[in-house]
Structure 1
Amino acid sequence: MKLLSLKMCLTCLVVLAFSLPFIYPQYGSGFLEELEMLGVGGAVALFAVFLVFVYFYCRDLSRTLALVSPERRAAAPGSVWLMFLIPYNFVEDFFIVHNVARSIEREAAANPQLNDLRGNGLFSGIGWCVAQIVSLAPGMIGKTASLIAIILWAVHWRFVRQVNTRLASAPGRERPTDASAVPSQLLP
């Protein structure tokens, strides 16, 4: 309960950051400038494309957790779908990335398929989460952080896909069912 309360308080800070361009327009329009440039139709289309990418990213994260032995999982495969709860996801993303990294690390300690793995994805994962938060800042700081977040997100996603390929190709390994890729069970 304390952790959920902390997450909700931090989410309130994210909402405040989102609202800064409305409260203090003199400091810059932040993400509103990009929305203005795109127009309503362009902004809706960009957001829809973004959600499609998030869906496939979440599916891969869920697959990672499903491929990790249940006793080594730090979270249930379905928990990654909390990334769709905007603006709560800005906070929850840190926990999702951390749990996936912990699960990969635990699996790597016992699974020879991951012996030569470089890291557990935590650096790029937390990196994109931090950059995502900083991207809410107005001006060049926010724009630069947005670009960094996208790059680190892509790096993390590539890492996760590599882990999935290795784990799925393990001898005698059953492929997870499609049920592991849907938010049917959010808790471990």
Structure 2
Amino acid sequence: MTRTALLHLAIRVLGTTLVVVLLSAPLWVPGWGPGLIGEIGLVPFPGNLAIIAGFLVLVALYCLTLQRLVRRAGAGSGASVWWMFAIPANFVEDFYIVQRVGAAIAPRIGTAELGWWRWLGFGWCILQLVSLLPGELGRVGGALAILLWLAQWVLTLSITRRLR
């Protein structure tokens, strides 16, 4: 295994460990607040189940959009975008997905547009991590992450249409 591969493995393992620590924080530091999982639990069943299922459907549609973009760019199958469902590793893997898709489309789109696409992508990835923090900071981070994610999704659709 090369040094680069080892570094990326270490980033994935340590990053995912941090995500698990943040997700489980309400269990070992209850004074911090309910956290993401606890906040979903504030909505009574079956509403909380509908929120989770709806979000997962949106993620699946987003993955299909990214996969279509990679295929239209003529850069392979784009199957790796489905790692977004590898919870909790997806919080770290999403950065790699944005990087790989960006590299795949780079030869086919302008530098400025690619810059915006990457900025929006890495922005929602970072804010998604912030959303794991307890309290107001986590809620604001989550809301901003969703806004950047949707903005990048719209840009992805626009780029995909032009690559027909």
TM over 0.5: yes
Aligned residues of 1:131 and 1:148 also touching (Cα < 8 A): yes
Aligned residue in 1 for 2:96: 95
Amino acid across the alignment from 1:104: I
Aligned residues of 1:65 and 1:77 also touching (Cα < 8 A): yes
Higher helix share: 2
User: Which has the higher relative contact order, 1 or 2, with Cα contacts under 8 A spaced 6 or more apart?
Assistant: 1
CA distance in 1, matches of 2:67, 2:116: 16
Aligned residue in 2 for 1:159: 155
Tell me, what secondary structure is at the counterpart of 1:119? helix
CA distance in 1, matches of 2:57, 2:39: 20
Which stretches in structure 1 are left out of the alignment for 5+ residues? 109-113, 169-188
Aligned residue in 1 for 2:107: 106
1:21-49 alpha-carbon deviations (Å, 9 max, x no partner): 11101121122442232123211111100
Change (3 A) 1:78 1:118: closer
CA distance in 2, matches of 1:26, 1:122: 36
Which stretches in structure 2 are left out of the alignment for 5+ residues? none
Aligned residue in 1 for 2:125: 129
Amino acid across the alignment from 1:122: R
1:102-136 alpha-carbon deviations (Å, 9 max, x no partner): 2222222xxxxx58846350000000000000000
Mean alpha-carbon deviation: is it higher for 141-150 or for 20-29? 20-29
Tell me, what secondary structure is at the counterpart of 1:87? coil
Aligned residues of 2:23 and 2:37 also touching (Cα < 8 A): no
Mean alpha-carbon deviation: is it higher for 81-90 or for 33-42? 33-42
1:143 aligns with 2:144: no
Q: What is the percentage of aligned positions where both structures have the same residue?
A: 36
Which runs of structure 1 show a deviation greater than 3 angstroms over 4 or more consecutive aligned residues?
A: 114-120
Question: Which TM-score applies when normalising by structure 1?
Answer: 0.78
Mean alpha-carbon deviation: is it higher for 29-38 or for 82-91? 29-38
Aligned partner (choices 35, 40, 51) of residue 35 of structure 1: 40
Aligned residues of 1:65 and 1:103 also touching (Cα < 8 A): yes
* RMSD across aligned positions (CA): 1.9
Aligned residues of 1:101 and 1:120 also touching (Cα < 8 A): no
Aligned residues: 159
